[in-house]
Homo-oligomer: A and B are copies of this chain.
């Protein structure tokens, strides 16, 4: 059945039926606005869009995958502030000939990903459009902690990474060449595995700066370096390229470190910590902060792109 047949309100009813309710949702979908608990007295909020043809392709990702990814991209921004995600709002622009099941499965993916952190979809909006677009806003609670900004890195701090980089880029690369394997990378591209718990843990450990790696590690560290007015050096040897990734890169004739250092969409977290902090196992030291500007790899300028620009 197409969306033109169900109409706006029929579609909304079908989508709402796919959503789970989270404990932060004091009032869920169905009114002019939702009401979300903000026990801290401050609310962390971020918005991020996925546009068909730019951020996803329907022949590469299922609707549930797109839902998972759209939610993950936004939830990662919340945890990168050291906050606990509580709610999502979803704007959905769809072609009128889209099958209703696609929108329902998208909602299921969004709701399931939000459920991983105890959050839920509390509201949204829907419109017809020639371009399938998913606009998500995520809200989160700081639980009494100070937000971890991009601007707090200090010379002498260590730079540490939680989660993976390069996996989604490898998946994107193989899909771009018409392959469907290695499955691990294709799956990583379809549904990022965000180290959600590492974000609030980093805040408690005293992270001085944090960002989620959405556009590429070097580019996102560049935002930290600029905001903190410091230089950051990344050590290439801190990254072990998995054999499967090495093989895939070799088959495609590319340097796997380009994926690892500049690939986006895995939504790892990268943070800076005072050198005295003992980091738990899921935070791996990959570099250091020094006086200066910019991001280097093994103290040299990186030859090649830094990451993704959505307009170039």
Q: What mask results when residues 1 to 19 of chain A are scored 1 for a CB within 8 Å of chain B, else 0?
A: 0011011110100000000
Q: Which of B26, B39, B89 has a CB less than 8 Å from the CB of A137?
A: B89
Cβ of A83 within 8 Å of any chain B Cβ, yes or no, is yes
Contact A46 B123 (CB under 8 A): yes
Measured CB to CB, the closest approach of chain B to A197, in angstroms, equals: 17
Is A54 an interface residue, CB under 8 A from the partner? yes
- The reply to whether A150 and B32 contact each other, CB–CB distance below 8 Å, is yes
Residues of B within 8 A of A212 (CB): 32
8 Å CB contact of A34 from B8, B30, B46: B46
A45 CA / B27 CA spacing, docked (Å):
10
Contact B127 A33 (CB under 8 A): no
Shortest C-beta distance, A12 to chain B (Å), equals: 10
Q: Are A7 and B311 in contact (CB under 8 A)?
A: yes
Q: What is the total number of copies of this protein in its complex? A: 2
Residue in B11, B87, B93, B210 whose CB lies within 8 Å of A131:
B93
Contact status B46-A149, CB under 8 Å:
no
Question: Which residue of B7, B124, B139 is within 8 Å of A43 (Cβ)?
Answer: B139
Is there a chain B Cβ closer than 8 Å to A247's Cβ?
A: no
Interface 9-residue window, one of A73-81, A176-184, A200-208: A73-81
Residues of chain B with a CB closer than 8 A to A8's CB? 309-312
Given A9-B309, A41-B41, the answer on whether A35 and B81 have CB atoms closer than 8 Å is yes
Contact B35 A311 (CB under 8 A): no
Chain B residues within an 8 Å CB radius of A135: 47, 49, 91, 125, 133, 135
Given A54-B129, A133-B135, 5 more pairs with CB closer than 8 A: A9-B309, A33-B45, A35-B43, A47-B135, A133-B133
